[in-house]
Amino acid sequence: MALWTDGCSSKLTPSIVDTNRQTSSRVALSVETISTSITAQVGMPFRRFVLWSRLETATEEVKQGRSMTDAAGSAGFSDPAHFSRVFYDMFGLGPSTVLPIVEIVGNLGPPR
């Protein structure tokens, strides 16, 4: 099976991806297939993939000059505190510590 996200990336924007079931109906694959494919191909469970996509989106928006609050909301986080918790869980530091450095250095790498 080819990387299923190749043909579906336009359907997997962070603002619309919430559950395996919603995604499975968008891409016409079963929930089990999506879960297995995501884990096998990107190395993380579906929910973590969604959160990672949202972090990438929020980070890009902050780099473009938006406030962290606005970027978190448009990336699909329920509130700025949710964004901060997820960011801290992924990187061990808060976004206000890391994002100014990212603006200078470049993109965040994928979680390992």
Q: Are 59 and 106 in contact (CB under 8 A)?
A: no
**Spatial separation of the C-alpha atoms in residues 14 and 50, rounded to whole Å:** 6
Report percent pLDDT > 90 for the chain. 14
In this predicted structure, which of 17-21, 24-28, 44-48, 60-64 has the lowest mean pLDDT?
17-21
Q: How high is the pLDDT of residue 22?
A: 75
CATH 1.10.10.60 residue ranges for the chain:
47-105
Q: How far apart are the first and last CA of the chain?
A: 23
**Is the CATH number of domain 47-105 1.10.10.60?**
yes
Distance (Å) of CA 34 to CA 65, 100, 106: 34, 35, 30
d(C-alpha 92, C-alpha 63), whole Å? 20
Rg of the chain (C-alpha set): 14
pLDDT digit string, tens, across residues 13-39: 544 455 667 777 777 778 788 788 888
Per-residue confidence (pLDDT) for residue 81, from 0 to 100: 93
Q: For residues 24 and 59, which has the higher predicted lDDT (pLDDT)? A: 59
Res 17: pLDDT: 53
